[in-house]
Structure 1
Amino acid sequence: MDTKKLRQKILDLAIRGKLVPQDPNDEPASVLLERIKAEKERLIKEGKIKKSKKSAKTSDTPHYENVPFEVPNNWVWTTLGEIFNLQAGKNITAKDIFTRQDTDHRFPCYGGNGLRGYVSSYNREGHFPLIGRQGALCGNINEANGQFYATEHAIVVDTHCETNIDWAINVLLYLNLNQYATSTAQPGLSVGTINEVMIPVPPLEEQQRISQRINDWFALIDKIEQGKADLQVTIKQAKNKILDLSIHGKLVPQEPNDEPASELLKRINPKAENTCDNGHKWKLPQSWCLIKLKEAFTINPRNKANDDTDAGFVPMTNISDGFSNLFDYELRLWGKIKSGFTHFADDDIAVAKISPCLENRKSVILQNLPNNIGAGTTELHIFRSNYTIPLYGLYFFKSNYFIGECVGTFNGVVGQQRVGKNVVEDILFPLPPFAEQRRIVQKIEELFSALDNIQKALEV
């Protein structure tokens, strides 16, 4: 279920007068508009609001031809400038805005993209919709309630004659005001432009019924979205559990006719030490071996290259997150190469060496590479083995066990660690018989496929 489209459909029905039934006893919207007009004229005389400039569309009677769509008889078409009073806030310097709220800076400050932070004073008080008028998100709608500060990049929407605030917010959301922004490097909206945007207005009583129905529907959609989010977490947890079972020899049954991993280990590295025994915490099947990664893989293999070599580069950003196996490379002029560089080859496993990319399971099998492709070792560790199935290795590198063992050093960025080769090479690697590796990979892909189908269903 596409809940975003469902929300939009509900707003579309509401704006056209099709969400709730009309009541013939409601005061017509034309009468409401006359009362709003009278109230605004009074406030202008008292100097509380400024008189807006008359547009070509504005008339003394709330009637328009060539309206976008028909609405019920007791509704009326008008403009935002006629039913509301739109006014931008006041300038404030960035140094006066604090990211955290405290006793000295307790008033929320709203700008063009929503909440900017907290300030020591306020310039508006009440319940208002806000329209962002500057920045990439101009036209976005926020809600302010209580004492707050509106900057010059936020338009405060004053309502009159008890116009329903929730209805006003929802109709502003529907209008997608960003479409009226200027096409410049810094998009912006003028109050004059927004004033002329047409809007269908229902009777006051129907506004309240519409708002209540929208709130009811949106509350139900919120529950659906929370359920989807919970299920997505469950899917992720299920995949983690599958990988955990797979590297502990508990995902598929062992076959007594399989060649033991000890024989495979002799071909990989005759000098490798098998640390697996009955007393080890892993408690692996008897046919498995437990060795260090540096004994199972060649880590960061190096090649020589000439100066000004065109070589491929696979940044961490080009590797997909999570449990997928997608990546793309960039072909670059390598520049003056004075030393060897890490060579990429088909079936190599590339693993992020920097957190939080590592925690996001940024690891992938490199395949279908051009002939001359390589990269430095600033972002990725490369693992190569001729004796393990690449997908089995990949799933190991995506497991919580491997990620949990990757404790690196901070590299100048808060919360970010770089995990060196000296750390990963000594991490223990559970090696099953070669035939069992195939069965493990087949079972993982079968289970992941079923979970992915559930995931896709959530996104429809």
Structure 2
Amino acid sequence: MGEIRGEVCKKVTDGTHNPPPNSGEGKQVISAINIKNNKIDFSLSNRFVTDEQFEKEDKRTEIRRGDVLLTVVGTLGAATVVETDKQFTAQRSLAILKPMIVNYYLLNVVESPMFNIQINNNAKGTTQKGIYLKKLTKLLIPLPPLKEQSRIAAKIAELFALLRKVESSNQQYDKFKKILRSKVLDLAMRGKLVEQNPDDEPASVLLEKIKTEKAELVKEGKIKKSKSLPEITDEKYIDISKDKIASRARQVLDENDILFSLVRPYLKNIAMVPENSNYKVGSTGFYVLKPFSKLNKNYIFYLVLSTYVISSMTKLMKGDNSPSIRKSDLQDLAVPIPPLKRTRENSSKG
């Protein structure tokens, strides 16, 4: 183990504690907010000093390619290796480490949980924690031979590159999955997803069963009587029923209910209540769909996720700060209802 100053770094300093007024041009001044994902993002700040002020500050900090910058105020322990010859200086929230060891090995060590514990244990402050240079320079890091440091840094870089590749693949997979699901639902709505079977029970029969179930629920007082369903033609369209949606401030949830967020529908904040869950009450910010038992719940779930439903609702949004739709917008939307057997086939392919 070696101390930061003397055994690991030949020089440790921090940025200016009293930055001069922003000159608007000249050399840039960065701080902890500019350190993101092990890189310096110069676009995140817009503070500059004159060339004369820079020369004065640079005599103390001497930030050069290969140095390690470490955040020491506010966000503690974020770091990067300077990979540019651009001239710039820093504020007090950054420490500048000039390593005598492999700089990328030092980068990985100062971002490790072991080092992070040391920083936080020695940090001071309430609203904004910081670690003073005197404490920082006494912190310890493991010191293997230089060749081993290089091998460790190279292996970590290799693994991180692989991780980024996996993350990119997952993002592409998620995007493809959404496109595929939308396409499948589009084909299902047009009757082109599965082969049409003339022996299938027609949708009109399914709708008659739904009417019967609805009448029973009205008789039992579980739902209120509403307007008659529109006449069903060969297009096989039906209104989404609103009868089982609670009008109270909180909505009682049952297993397999479908929650559709009324705020920014394009974000697709839609979910199905899982079986055997403890979710019993829903916020009024959601429209709660309770499909009739004769309908395939998974089909309805994928249907409300479809481009047709989402784009229809997005067009009806109102408001600036929190654009939303009304419950009636979703209640009045006509959607395709194929025969029950076909809804099962379509949902299994969704």
Same fold by TM-score greater than 0.5:
yes
Amino acid at match of 1:383: L
Gaps of 5+ in 2: 36-40, 212-227
CA 148–422 in structure 1, closer or farther in 2 if over 3 Å, else same? farther
Tell me whether 1:396 sits opposite 2:328 in the alignment: no
Q: How many residues align?
A: 304
2:179 is the counterpart of 1:237: yes
1:117 corresponds to which of 45, 53, 60: 45
Offset from partner CA, 1:396-418 (integer Å, 9 cap, x none): 112222112112435342xx521
Give the C-alpha shift of residue 224 in structure 1.
4.6
CA distance in 1, matches of 2:143, 2:282: 63
The DSSP-based 3-state class of the residue aligned with 2:201 is coil
Q: Residues 26-50 of structure 1, C-alpha deviation per residue, up to 9 Å, x if partnerless?
A: xxxxxxxxxxxxxxxxxxxxxxxxx
Give the counterpart of 1:425 among 297, 311, 331: 331
Residues 1:168 and 1:440: Cα distance change in structure 2 (over 3 Å): same
Unmatched 5+ residue regions in structure 1? 1-76, 98-102, 278-288, 304-339, 445-460
- 2:217 corresponds in structure 1 to none
How far, CA to CA, are the matches of 2:278 and 2:142 in structure 1?
A: 59
Q: 1:155 to 1:441 in 2, by over 3 A?
A: same
CA distance in 2, matches of 1:242, 1:249: 10
Corresponding residue of 1:191: 133
SS in 2 for 1:142: strand
Please say which of residues 121-130 and 426-435 is displaced more in the overlay. Answer: 121-130
Letter aligned with residue 350 of structure 1: L
Task: In structure 2, give the amino acid aligned to 1:132.
Answer: T
**How far, CA to CA, are the matches of 1:88 and 1:383 in structure 2?**
58
RMSD: 3.8
Q: What per-residue deviation string (whole Å, max 9, x for no partner) do you get for residues 196-235 of structure 1?
A: 2333446667766765665556545544543444334334
- 1:240-319 alignment runs, 5 A limit: 240-268=182-210, 271-274=229-232, 277=235, 289-291=236-238, 295-298=239-242, 301-303=245-247
Quick check: 2:109–2:115 contact (8 Å CA) kept in 1? no
- Structure 1 residues 320-339: aligned runs within 5 Å: none
Distance 1:227 1:374 in 2: 35
Q: Per the alignment, in what secondary structure is the counterpart of residue 417 of structure 1?
A: coil
Q: Is the contact between residue 299 and residue 425 of structure 1 (CA under 8 Å) also seen in structure 2?
A: no
Give SS of 2:31's match: strand
Choose between structure 1 and 2: higher helix proportion: 2
Q: Deviations over 1:321-341 (max 9, x none)?
A: xxxxxxxxxxxxxxxxxxx44
- Listed one character per residue, the Cα deviations across residues 89-135 of structure 1 (whole Å, up to 9, x for unaligned) are 22478x969xxxxx848736222683652312365542221112233
CA contact (8 A) 2:181 2:306 kept: no
Distance 1:192 1:300 in 2: 67
- The Cα of 1:351 is off from its aligned counterpart by 0.3
Percentage of matched positions with identical amino acids: 22
Q: Take 2:16 and 2:233, find their aligned partners in 1: how far apart are those partners?
A: 69
Q: Who is 1:449 aligned against?
A: none
| Alpha-carbon distance, 1:436 to partner | 2.3
Task: Describe how 1:91-102 pairs up with structure 2 within 5 A.
Answer: 91=17
Distance in 2, Cα, partners of 1:411 & 1:214 = 48
- Does the 8 Å contact 1:348/1:384 carry over to 2? yes
* CA drift at 1:353: 1.1
TM-score, length of structure 1 as denominator length: 0.55
Q: Which amino acid aligns with 2:302?
A: Y
Shift of 1:254: 3.8
In 2, Cα distance between the equivalents of 1:105 and 1:262? 75
Aligned 1:13-412 pairs, distance under 5 A: 77-82=1-6, 83-84=8-9, 85-91=11-17, 104=25, 107=28, 109-111=30-32, 114=35, 116-121=44-49, 123=57, 125-127=63-65, 128-135=67-74, 137-144=75-82, 145=84, 146-159=86-99, 164-174=102-112, 176-180=114-118, 181-182=120-121, 186-201=128-143, 215=157, 218-219=160-161, 221-268=163-210, 271-274=229-232, 277=235, 289-291=236-238, 295-298=239-242, 301-303=245-247, 340-341=248-249, 343-346=251-254, 347-355=256-264, 358-365=266-273, 373=281, 375-376=283-284, 379-386=285-292, 387-407=294-314, 408-412=316-320
State the SS of the aligned residue for 2:107: helix
> What's 2:219 paired with?
none
